[in-house]
Chains A and B, each alone.
Chain A
Amino acid sequence: MLLGLTPDILVVATALVVLVLESVAPKPWRTRAIVLSAGLGCVLAAVAMISLGDGEGSVAGYTLRPWATPLRLTAVLSVLMSLLMIPSQLDHDNRRMRRLVTPGVAVFMLLASLAGTCSLAGANDMVAFIVSLELATIPLFALVALFQDGESSEAGLKFLLTGALATGLLVFGMSYCYGAGGAVDFPGLAAGLDGPLAVTGALLMVLAILFKLSAAPMHVWAPDVYDGAPNAVASYLASGSKATGLIALLLLWEGPFVHLHEQLRPLLITTAIASMVIGNLGALRQTRLRRFMAWSSIAQVGFFLLAVGTGLDGVLAISFYAVVYALSNGLAFLVFDCLGESRPPTMPALRGLSKQSPALALALTLAVFSLAGIPPLAGFLGKFALLLAPAREGMYLLVLIGALNGLVGLYYYLRVVREAYMVEPETRPDDLRLDLPQRLGVLLCAVAILGFGIWPGVHNWIAGLLGLV
């Protein structure tokens, strides 16, 4: 039975190995050793998740849930993508970085957050739930402030303050749930939660998770924080951290809040629509790349939320799109990262990319087209499944609103492609030097984005985990 915990144990062990390497590895190849061992650990954890992900049962108060496997895998994927970006932040002559924190600590923090996400999926009572969620969140505060310039520190402080507010709401709501349900374990709460007091508590908890997801109206921190954070961290915030929020939301939804669906559904639908609209409007005008990705990720969360509460179809859609989103989003950030820090991270920095490096330009195009949901890329299949789930419940208007927002999304994702291909740069950009892991990462992601849209294996694997086939 303990076998089911292998992925989690691997993640924690890797984190500890990284911490040890930080102090014992010789300086010339310290960064490389740390990133490599962390990457290896993550790959092993991913393999363990894939091979053991269908296990059910309970180990030491830790519940194995097959449906959470794809979302945990999303977080692992997201960490792997971030690992690809960390060396470039350290090695290159960095405009923003006078001296970054030692790489070991940064990687350790990332893995600690991942461990929190993994254990969150196993939580079966409120205490384990909040401890895991905090474990997943607190390292991110430090990670956002990794650079030691004003922007990064400001972003860190903003993130910390809003995060504290969210945690406050979460615990406050939790106490009301305890009051109304008279239990702290999920099955007990599921049986006991009913009535306005329970709805109030649940509402506060959901609002706190919306912070984590950066869904409207709790999205306000995202643009500033993404913009100030390093690429590696912003990328993780955009996908890995969202996977955490989705696990938390689905966990509560199918567990303690099982009798509150009717009351909470309107909130989620409103949030979904508001996130899509606000995120899209925000992204329309942005020129700073990370800020742009932040706004677009707010819109993407809206799509995820469309499918929450539509049964197993919805969970399938969310899980599949989470994986695809981690790949597409990570690839976009990876390309931004490959541009280097010699130019400010704005849209004009992409000009001339198609001449500098046609492969990178193509990869970026695939990434943003996948985010926009263009067939035959994986993003299309994901968005399609997300829209189909509410449609099967008869919520057709929601489908139309989602589709309309997809069009606005297309408008601004096209801007990225336009800058990369069509607008001539004012000065001739320098040649880009990519190292082997970066090349490999870009190639694998691009192939996966194309492949997962045509080859249905991943989708059908998740459907199998959920018992839908």
Chain B
Amino acid sequence: MPASLLLAAIALPLCVAPALPALTRRFGWRTSWLAALVAGLSAAFTMAAGLGADWSYQWLPSLGPALALSLDGFGLLMSALIGGIGAAILIYAGGYSRHDPHLGRLLAWLVVFVAAMQALVLADDLLLLFAAWEVTSFASFMLVGHSTHLAEARAAARRALLVTAGGGLCLLGGVVLLADAAGTWRLSELAVMTDHSLYPAIAILFIVAAATKSAQFPFHFWLPGAMCAPTPVSAYLHSATMVKAGIVLLVRMQPSLSGSAWWELPLLIAGGLTIVVAAWRCAVAVDLKALLAGTTLIALGCMTVLAGIATPSAMAALVVFLLAHALYKAAAFMLAGAIDHGAGTRDLRVLAGLRRAMPWSAGLAGVIGLSLLGLAPSASFVAKELLLAVAIESGPLVVILFGLAAISFAFAAVRVCWAPFAGRPSSRAEHAHEVDRASLIAIAMVAIPALALGPLLAAAHAVLEPAVAAAGGTITAYQLGLWHGVSAPLVIGLFAITSGLIAGLLLHRRLRAWLRTPRWWDAAAWHDALWVHLVALAKRLTETMAAGGPRAAAALCLAVTALLVLGVIVTDPERLPLPAWNADASPLDLAALALTLLGAGGCIAARSRMAAVCALGAVGTGVTLIFLAHSAPDLAVTQFLVEVLTVLLVMLAFRRLSDGISDSGSKLIRAGVALSIGATVFVLVLVAQGTQLGQPVGAWHAAAAIPEGHGRNVVNVILVDFRAFDTLGEIAVLAIAAIGAGVLLARHRKLEPAT
């Protein structure tokens, strides 16, 4: 029973989601409470299942992957966050998007997303992990593109999908290689892979996948673009959960893949560059959500760096930071949405003095601000202490990076939680109003735990310890405490907060002027340009091919055939059977040769289609003469009949076309193709001449004709006795061809009587 609860945690939201649009039409925004209940239940199910529960089903026995779920400490923590934050955000969505005609669709995709995320963190099978990963990408695409009337939203949705799905394909590659190398699809059975010959490829593929999903440099650009999504979506997918999927992947793979430069160096570089680039973005941001997106990038960069350091204390810091960040960032985004709703803008340059109009929001902003600043007693304070402690162990570069991160967080705290509410009310603030109660409840549901969890973390050590251990880390209750004396992390943290406060309160206008972003620096533009160029290339190629028409098509096919056949023959000339040279030629042979050459020459020189076809007929006649000269009169008759028919049919088909032959295209290429085909056939004939058949089937048929077939005409016996079924088939084919041709021609006649 406990094990199947894991399945229920995924199946319940998946089953409820399709019904939500219909329910929303009936019950309006109140449906969001049901959706929230489902998300909450899904987390409750995993908690009820208990640590160590696992469930599996032999899915594809012939390929190996199974549907396998298992619950470890880290999975439980993530599952609780997904369900808990999900519930809060679904409630918020009901308030925020109350007047959205497509609220039902929004709720449905959010709930699908809950299911996919649960599957991702509970998966014990590589393929299931990948499938869940891709579903989160698609749910994100649907949610970012939710406001379909905005061209910007459509472009951002596509960009986000192409980047994350591209990363997903890297993950698929990595998963296939890893399963092949490790000999198992079970995550829990993976051994340490660092010595395997495929290890570098596997490591890089997994890192690229994680970097695309968690928006790490150079794939960081899709995340700020995805901020066009409705705020509940930004709050849930693009801060609290989906972007954490990359980190989850890194944590899951850490036992088997970490421990070499192939793993650590790319993670340190990507994470470090992301922190720097995102700090820049934060400093120049004028949009509330863009600023928060920047801090999300920084947080993810810090987690990536921690995964790269990969010591037990780094992994412990990662888990605690992940928990704190998920809570306060979701709250911060919901607050941003509330400000947007209340004041009608997200522009940081005009927001001021909202505290009178939005008192509850202002209060919650204070709570969130403490977390964002990283001040005691918030959970993020504990996380920051752990982070800086790891940085001090790891060297000055990491200290600088994490210091920069802390400064940026403090800067964002001032800009988001203080500036919009403080100061003289702007014209905007006069018309501002408080947001609805559901939204406030939802914000409080995550903001208050984010703050209150700080002092409780040490007490909750027993709960947190399995999560940290599952991620490969170790942590003590003491480390989770708030006060460790005046230590280096505390000093660095206070310094960073002070700098951030100064920058946020006094320098923000100047920062924007100083750090003007150069145009080439826009990675999103690079990404778009890549696709634009690819599409342009495709256009050029298809147009070139289309301009050539059927002639180019035929030339391509023939050239490839010639190339391949000549290739085979040239590469292995010794084993080719070549005939002995025979210089005797009868006058008839010579005549046939002359006629053939003449026909070919005429065909080339012809200025009209009909003339060319007639000249080709002459070539065929030459072949007929050769058959005659070598005592094969039956073949000669057949050949002649076929030749006449072909010429007539081609003439019939061409009679509607203009008679002239256009001279477009390169003659050189055409000559080259023709000559190569000629050479190919020549060589082939030569080779055929030299081949000695082991045992011609004809001999057996001739001998068996009378005793077994009771017939003197061997050809007849073969047709109606030895190969009677084939003849029947052939007759059927001919009959069908005749019916088809008859129908088409009959119709044609009916069409034409007027002319």
Binds B, one of A80-88, A154-162, A234-242: A154-162
Known: A128-B725, A388-B63. A284 touches B556 (CB 8 A): no
What's the Cα separation between A203 and B561 when bound, in Å? 9
Q: Is the CB of A61 within 8 A of B725?
A: yes
Contact B744 A142 (CB under 8 A): yes
Chain A residue with the shortest CB-CB distance to B730: A131
Q: Is B158 an interface residue (CB 8 A)?
A: yes
**Contact residues, B131-171 vs A (CB, 8 A):** 131, 134-135, 138, 145, 148-149, 154, 158, 161-162, 165-166, 169-170
Pairwise interchain contact B568-A196, C-beta atoms closer than 8 A: yes
Residue of B nearest to A101 (CB): B743
Chain B positions within 8 Å of A381 at CB level:
60
For B62, B127, B158, B730, the residue with the greatest tally of chain A CB atoms inside 10 Å of its CB is B62
Quote the shortest CB–CB distance from A18 to chain B (angstroms).
12
Distance of A407 Cα from B557 Cα, bound (Å)? 28
User: Residue B553 contacts which of A221, A396, A460 (CB distance < 8 angstroms)?
Assistant: A221
B550 x A161 contact (CB < 8 A): yes
Beta-carbon contacts under 8 Å, B689-725 to A: 691, 693-697, 723, 725
Q: Is the CB of B575 closer than 8 A to any CB of chain A?
A: yes
**Residue from A60, A282, A375, A468 having most chain B Cβ neighbours under 10 A:** A375
Chain A residues near B394: list those with CB within 8 A.
none
Q: Which residue of A lies closest to B57 (CB)?
A: A456
List, in ascending order, chain B residues with CB within 8 A of A6's CB. none
The stretch from A66-74, A336-344, A410-418, A434-442 touching chain B is: A410-418
Partner of A157, one of B198, B553, B653: B653
- Please tell me which stretch of A26-34, A38-46, A133-141, A250-258 contacts chain B, meaning at least 4 of its Cβ atoms lie within 8 angstroms of it: A133-141
Nearest neighbor of A19 in chain B, beta-carbon distance:
B739
Q: Is the CB of A391 within 8 A of B553?
A: no
Evaluate contact between A408 and B148: CB separation under 8 angstroms: no
Determine whether the beta carbon of B59 is less than 8 Å from that of A456. yes
Contacts of A221 in B (CB 8 A): 553
Cβ of A217 within 8 Å of any chain B Cβ, yes or no, is yes
List A contacts of B696 (CB < 8 A): 182
Query: Which stretch of A47-55, A104-112, A302-310, A324-332 is in the interface?
Result: A104-112
Query: In whole angstroms, how far apart are the Cα atoms of A184 and B743 in the complex?
Result: 35
Are B531 and A411 in contact (CB-based, < 8 A)?
yes
B135 lies within 8 A of A217 (CB): no
List A residues 344-372 near B (Cβ within 8 Å). 369
B576 contact set on A, CB distance < 8 A: 196-197
List residues 201-230 of chain A with CB under 8 A from any CB of chain B: 203-204, 207, 211, 217-218, 220-221
Q: Quick check: is B729 within 8 A (CB to CB) of the other chain?
A: yes
Check A200–B557 contact: CB distance below 8 A.
no
Whether B736 and A138, one on each chain, are in contact in the complex, defined by CB atoms closer than 8 angstroms, is yes
Q: Does B134 contact A387, Cβ atoms closer than 8 Å?
A: no
**Residue in B63, B541, B687 whose beta carbon sits within 8 Å of that of A200 in the complex:** B687
B395 lies within 8 A of chain A by Cβ: no
Nearest CB on B from A79, distance (A):
15
In angstroms, Cα B166 to Cα A106, docked, is 43
Interface size class of A (residues with CB under 8 A): 35 or more
In the bound complex, CA of A250 to CA of B31 (Å): 54
Q: A135-B729, A217-B556, A220-B553 are in contact. Are A196 and B60 (CB under 8 A)?
A: no
Interchain CB contact under 8 A, B569 and A200: yes
Instruction: Give complex CA distance A142, B60 in Å.
Output: 42
Give the total number of A-B pairs whose CB atoms are below 8 A apart.
211
Within 8 A of B (CB), among A74-127: 99, 101-102, 105, 108-109, 112, 116, 119, 127
CA distance A61 to B729 in the complex (A): 13
Also in contact, A131 and B729, with CB within 8 A (given A162-B553, A182-B693): yes
A83 vs B301: C-alpha distance in the bound complex, in angstroms?
56
Query: Which residue on B lies nearest to A284, using beta carbons?
Result: B538
- Give the distance in Å from the alpha carbon of A369 to the alpha carbon of B161 in the complex: 13
Q: Which residue of A lies closest to B548 (CB)?
A: A220
Chain B residues near A286 (CB-CB < 8 A)? 542
A204 to B751 Cα, complex, angstroms:
40
Contacts of A400 on B, CB cut-off 8 Å? 173
* Inter-subunit contact B535/A284 (CB<8 Å): yes
Q: A399 CA to B565 CA in the complex, in Å?
A: 28
CB distance from B117 to the nearest CB of A (A): 14
A447, B414: Cα distance in complex, Å:
52
Chain A residues in 8 Å Cβ range of B740: 105, 109, 138-139, 141-143
Partner of A391, one of B62, B177, B691: B177
B538 and A281 form a contact (CB under 8 A)? yes
Contact with A along B545-560 (1 / 0, CB 8 A): 1000010111011001
B748 contact set on A, CB distance < 8 A: 148
A399 to B751, CA, bound (A): 53
Q: Is A14 an interface residue (CB 8 A)?
A: no
Residues in chain A near residue B694, CB distance under 8 A: 182, 192
Contact A392 B568, beta carbon cutoff 8 Å: no
- When A406-B169, A459-B60 are in contact, do A414 and B161 touch as well, CB less than 8 Å? yes
> How near does chain A come to B558, taking the closest CB pair, in angstroms?
8
Min Cβ gap A352→B in Å is 12
Q: Which residues of chain A from 388 to 403 have a CB within 8 Å of any chain B CB?
A: 388, 391-392, 396, 399-400, 403
Q: Which residues of B lie under 8 Å from residue A145 when comparing CB positions?
A: 744
Residue A24 at the B interface, CB < 8 A?
A: no
| Distance in angstroms between the alpha carbons of A369 and B131 in the assembled complex | 13
Given contacts A404-B169, A421-B148, contact A468 B747 (CB under 8 A): no
CB <8 Å contact, B60 and A456: yes
Q: Is A25 an interface residue (CB 8 A)?
A: no
B131 to chain A, nearest CB (A): 4
Contact A207 B564 (CB under 8 A): yes
Contact between B736 and A380 (Cβ–Cβ < 8 Å)? no
Contacting B534 at CB < 8 Å: which of A180, A396, A408, A414? Answer: A408
CA distance A403 to B688 in the complex (A): 43
User: A residues within 8 A CB of B641?
Assistant: none
A422 to B142, CA, bound (A): 11
A128 and B154 within 8 A (CB): no
Q: Which residues of chain A come closer than 8 Å to B158, judged between CB atoms? A: 414, 418
Chain B 633-661 residues near chain A, CB threshold 8 A = 653
The complex places the Cα of A459 from the Cα of B60 at a distance, in Å, of 8
Q: Within 8 Å of chain B (Cβ to Cβ): is A243?
A: no
The residue in chain B whose Cβ has the minimal distance to the Cβ of A143 is B740
Report how far A199 CA is from B687 CA in the complex, Å: 12
B733 within 8 A of partner (CB): yes
CB-CB under 8 A from B127, the residues of chain A are 384
With known contacts A157-B653, A376-B135, A203–B169 Cβ distance under 8 A: no
Whether the Cβ atoms of B747 and A148 lie closer than 8 Å is yes
Interface residues of A (CB under 8 A from B): 60-62, 99, 101-102, 105, 108-109, 112, 116, 119, 127-128, 131-132, 134-135, 138-139, 141-143, 145, 148, 156-158, 161-162, 165, 169, 175-176, 179-180, 182-184, 192, 195-197, 199-200, 203-204, 207, 211, 217-218, 220-221, 263, 267, 278, 280-282, 284-286, 313, 316, 369, 374-376, 380-381, 384-385, 387-388, 391-392, 396, 399-400, 403-404, 406-408, 410-411, 414, 418, 421-422, 424, 456, 459-460, 463, 468-469
Contacts A142-B737, A414-B158, A469-B62 supplied; 20 other A-B pairs, CB < 8 Å? A99-B747, A105-B743, A109-B736, A112-B736, A142-B744, A165-B554, A180-B691, A203-B568, A211-B557, A217-B560, A218-B557, A220-B556, A281-B541, A284-B539, A375-B130, A380-B134, A396-B201, A406-B169, A421-B148, A459-B62
Q: List 5 A-B contacts (CB under 8 A).
A: A128-B729, A143-B740, A280-B538, A375-B131, A396-B201
5 nearest A-B residue pairs (beta carbon): A142-B740, A220-B553, A375-B131, A463-B62, A182-B694
